[in-house]
Amino acid sequence: MAEIGKDILKAKALLEDGQLVAIPTETVYGLAGNAYNLDAVANIFATKNRPAFDPLIVHTYSLDQVKNLVTEIPEKAAILAEHYWPGPLTMLLKRKSIIPDLVTSGLDTVAVRIPNKEITLELLRSLDFPLVAPSANPFGYISPTSAQHVEDQLGSKIPYILDGGESNVGIESTIIGFENDEITIHRLGGVSVDEIEALVGKVKVKTHSSSNPLAPGMLENHYSPLTPILLGDIESNIEDHSGKKIGILSFSVDFGQQTQKILAPDGKMTTAAKNLFAYLRWLDRQPLDLILAELVPEEGLGLAINDRLKRAAAKKTTH
Ligand code: TXA
Ligand code: MG
């Protein structure tokens, strides 16, 4: 199994050697490799079982570093960078040729972000290359929000997991793109639509859900546990499925069931986001026929949480 620890020098040495290291971020843990090393990048796709049409996010530690990777930073991007970097926001920007095609799946934009996790920023500052890092889970499964989650699934495939404790945002970064002067949100995430609009005005929300997405990666069946999830009114679904071994994932109501997780006992959306993936994993480990879940209020981070719940519940086309 992979070693879990807080040794930045060890992580640095492995990455410099072209190996992969799982890194903590405030959103979810990433499976990191040298963005300029084609073998390392290819190894990320192989380790996750990820199709090559699904490009990777490049992580770095400062806006100056981002400028080495992209040809221009639109005005609105600069405003958002100032407010949300380091933080759970990924921007699609025109790439320089220094970024390998494999990283962007041949697209002319590169996804970049500065994660808000001190141990990882320190690691990034110590390296003379940026890190590509998709979420550190097998493709299609629930993203990891702790070192142990990574160990559970990828532990046999990687040498080291840098431990930064639990990810306190808990859902992936918001991904935005720029066309002319317009902003499009391609993935809902840790920065809400409202927060973005408050800074730069109206944006379009265009999250994809086809099996051949234009902005790849937004597959309908994603973030999925192995146990089927039924989304809807929990109370009536409990009655309809009385013969089955069911688990419950509610927003804030206690349904008095044994196998139950309440996303936000305090009613806060940030608490629900932080708990979402850990609770889905926990429920998936229980011997259940079915997980009954409900959508959360459609406000703030609730939009991103509901996006993940719907994808987790979507029928699997392969498996
Ligand atoms: O919070 C996060 O963003 C985490 C942490 C580790 O930083 N990373 C993450 O990476 O969620 P991943 O690979 O699981 O998701 C990245 C998404 C994919 O859906 C991919 O298709 C999209 O970003 N993406 C990357 N580059 C893109 C590009 N140039 N154009 C459109 N979409 C892109
Ligand atoms: Mg992912």
Structure confidence by residue, pLDDT tens digits, 58-89 = 999 999 999 999 999 999 999 999 999 999 99
Adjacent-strand bridge partners of 248: 260, 292
Torsion (CA) 259, 263, 266, 269 in degrees, nearest 10: -170
CA 309 to chain centre: 13
Model pLDDT, residue 215: 47
* Ligand approaching nearest to the C-alpha of 25: 1
Residue 70, amino acid:
V
Whole-angstrom distance, CA of residue 225 vs CA of residue 131 = 28
Residue 101 region by backbone torsions, left for phi larger than 0, else alpha for psi between -120 and 50, else beta: alpha
* Region 303-317 average pLDDT: 87
Q: Is 133 in the pocket of ligand 1 (CB under 6 A)?
A: yes
Half-sphere exposure of 72 (CA within 13 A, CB side): 8
pLDDT value at 225 more than 90 = no
- What pLDDT score was predicted for residue 207? 82
| Residue 185 banded pLDDT, cuts 50, 70, 90 | very high
Mutation probe of ligand 1 site: the residue of 172, 183, 224, 308 with most atoms within 8 A of C-beta = 172
55 C-alpha to ligand 1 centroid (Å): 7
Encoded tokens for 254: 């206690």
d(CA 285, CA 287): 7
Lowest-pLDDT choice from 139-143, 216-220, 306-310, 312-316 = 216-220
- Asked whether 25 lines ligand 1 (CB < 6 A), one says yes
Residue 91, H or E segment: strand 89-94
Distance 156 CA to ligand 1 centre (A): 24
Structure tokens at 215: 């902005």
